[in-house]
Structure 1
Amino acid sequence: MRRVLLMLAGLALLAVPASAQTADEIVAKYIKTVGGADKIQSVKTLRKLGTFNGGGGFEAPIVEENKRNNMVRQEFSLQGLTAVNAYDGHTGWKIEPWQGKKDAEPLGEEAMKQIVEDSDFDGPLVNYQQKGNKVEFLGMEPVEGTDAFKLKVTLASGDVRYYFMDTDYYVPIKIETKRMIRGAEREYETSLGDYKEVSGWYMPFSVESNVKGNPNRAKVTYQKIEANVPIDDTRFHMPAVNASAQPGTKPPDAADTLPKRTDEKKTPAKPPTKP
């Protein structure tokens, strides 16, 4: 496994034997590594500009916007049309132009559950107890041939994720999740890499994901991530319905096309200096 490459100048972490780790220690070191709680809390908005690569030469631009508290908007553009999934902290909605519909409509139950999880600005590990999440350390497990700390993260909703944390830098390098897709449960693997600094907060610029056991991977590469940019709340609110819009023929489901918060093979960067 290639090590996650972090550009963390001057950061030194206390070396503690793997056997001495606890869930809280691993989470605390993760928060410290990526910038610290104060830096994370100082970021109020994020705008991510990237490219979705679905394999076979298929690429499409994406835009993701997040705003405190619990607001998210995801855009996916193809053939001159833009699909939208969004959540304003109360209402989740979508626009699927390939169906010939330009009006916004409510998200279905499965998509709604996913976007609520995506709206967690800091992720489930930061302030996890206040959010009602539970984190357990399950020991070591190999990821691409190298041991990683394995954390079981039970969300307040009851959903479970497994986080695999790099043993040198304490950042997630893989996440395993289970999702319901059209009534069938699927298990996903997400790989995270190419960590870079954005306003003092280190975050992955490479996210690869696949159904567990399936070699075909989808990859999102972010060319630019901006922090604390002005984003109006109306970007997340569901627009009024246009009564004149007419439904059309349904193409591939945009919910499957929009990249999930899954994860992929890491593109390394430079590691911090180890003490």
Structure 2
Amino acid sequence: MRKIIYLTALIAFTSFSFVTTAQTADEILAKHQDAMGGAENWSKVKSLVQQTKFTVQGIEIQSKASILVGKALRTEMEIMGNKMIQVIEGDNGWWIRPQMMGGSGEPEDMPSEMVKISKNQEAVGSLLLNAKMEGHKIDLVNKEKLDGADVFVFQVTKKNGDTGQVYVSASTYLILKVMAKVNMAGQIVDSEMRFSNYKKLEGLNFPFSIETASPMGGGMMQIDTTSIEINPTLDASIFAKPTKK
């Protein structure tokens, strides 16, 4: 009986090894890049404006992100008539939070941890390919099932030691899920995001639906993109920190 169990395990391991090595990490990443629209097309994107909406505890929230690719990000959210603004430019950030969200309603410097978490949003396109271009370590570690479908699992190890897992569809080569550990006010929090409803705009693939944990607890929250504008003209002044009133 032990020999049968051993043989079964050996066959399973051998078959699994064949599957995972049938395609190398570089081959999968190349197909992923093609599925996203190609490196050349993404390199032409210099600015982007994205409108989204989501619901938290029955309250619908509208959000607008204005991005100067690789340089600056401005996010505006309307919550029960109150506007929250967050801006990241380089290694610095500022925000305006209404009193209902623990702020003063005046421009304030953003905590360095928040800047660190938000900074990668200055990039557009695939976070996996962006990580590769930034020189972070990317390893193909597994092939498994996600919601019944085959996915390739990559581990991304950043230069600062942060790690995350990226799940790439074995059929479409698009990212379906990202898991990471995020430092929030000194506490390590597990983060999960699921991507779906991909649509092509000007030959580029965008996930129009993102599912993530609700900041209020009680399960997952879906964020839906309502519009994307590629290469709009953005006034640099919208990223400048205003003076207090």
Q: Which category describes the TM-score, using the shorter chain as reference length? A: 0.7 to 0.9
The alpha-carbon deviation at position 230 of structure 1 amounts to: 1.1
Return the offset for 1:64: 1.2
Change (3 A) 1:194 1:130: closer
d(CA) in 2 for partners of 1:120 and 1:127? 8
Q: CA deviation at 1:149?
A: 0.2
SS at match of 1:53: strand
Letter of the structure 2 residue corresponding to residue 114 of structure 1: I
Task: State the number of aligned residues.
Answer: 223
Matching residue's letter, 1:199: E
Instruction: State the distance in 1 between where 2:213 and 2:144 align.
Output: 19
Deviation at 1:33, TM superposition (A): 0.8
Per-residue deviation, 1:92:
0.8
Cα RMSD (Å): 2.0
Query: 1:73 is matched with which residue?
Result: 74
Alignment of 1:48-127 (within 5 A): 48-54=50-56, 56-98=57-99, 99=102, 101-126=104-129
Q: What runs of 5+ residues in structure 2 fail to find an aligned partner? A: 1-18
Q: Aligned partner of 2:36: which letter?
A: V
SS in 2 for 1:125: helix
CA contact (8 A) 2:157 2:164 kept: yes
The aligned residue for residue 26 of structure 1 is 28
Q: CA deviation at 1:226?
A: 1.0
**Deviation per CA, 1:184-235, whole angstroms, max 9, x where unpaired?**
2111111000001122211100001028xx8601111011111111112222
Work out which of the residue numbers 150, 159, 162 in structure 2 matches 1:159.
162
Deviation at 1:133, TM superposition (A): 1.1
Please tell me whether Structure 1 or Structure 2 has the larger radius of gyration of its CA atoms.
2
* C-alpha spacing 1:176/1:78, structure 2 compared with 1 (3 Å): same
Hey, what's the Cα distance between the residues in 2 that align with 1:196 and 1:123? Answer: 14
Residue number in structure 2 paired with 1:135: 138
Alpha-carbon distance between aligned partners in 1 of 2:162 and 2:23, rounded to the nearest angstrom: 24
Q: After TM superposition, where is structure 1 displaced by more than 6 Å over at least 4 residues in a row?
A: none
* 73 and 156 in structure 1: CA distance in 2 versus 1, 3 angstrom threshold: farther
1:175 deviates by 0.4
**Distance (Å, rounded) in 1 between the aligned partners of 2:240 and 2:29:** 33
- Preserved contact between residue 91 and residue 238 of structure 1 (Cα < 8 Å): no
More helix by share: 2
Aligned to 1:45: 47
- Provide the rounded CA distance (Å) in 1 between the counterparts of 2:130 and 2:123: 11
Q: CA deviation at 1:46?
A: 1.2
Partner of 2:223: 220
Structure 1 pair 156–73 and aligned structure 2 pair: CA distance change class (3 A): farther
Question: In structure 2, how many angstroms separate the alpha carbons of the residues matched to 1:215 and 1:147?
Answer: 29
Whole-Å separation in 2 of the counterparts to 1:207 and 1:166: 16
The SS at the match of 1:235 is helix
With normalisation by structure 2, the TM-score equals 0.84
Greater displacement, 231-240 / 197-206: 231-240
User: How much does 1:79 deviate?
Assistant: 1.9
**1:235-250 paired onto structure 2 within 5 Å:** 235-242=238-245
The DSSP-based 3-state class of the residue aligned with 1:209 is: strand
- Describe the SS at the equivalent of 1:219: strand
- Provide structure 1 residue ranges, at least 5 long, that are not aligned to the other structure: 1-16, 243-275
Q: CA deviation at 1:151?
A: 0.3
User: 1:141-199 CA distances to partner (integer Å, 9 max, x unpaired)?
Assistant: 22122221000012233221110000011110000011122322111111000001122
User: 2:231, 2:93 → 1: CA distance?
Assistant: 23
Which whole-Å CA distance do the structure 1 matches of 2:164 and 2:143 have between them? Answer: 16
Aligned equivalents of 2:125 and 2:36: distance in 1?
11
* Higher strand proportion (structure 1 or 2): 2
CA–CA separation in structure 1 for the residues paired with 2:236 and 2:113: 24
Identity of aligned residues (%): 27
Shift of 1:100: 6.0
Q: TM-score scaled by structure 1?
A: 0.75
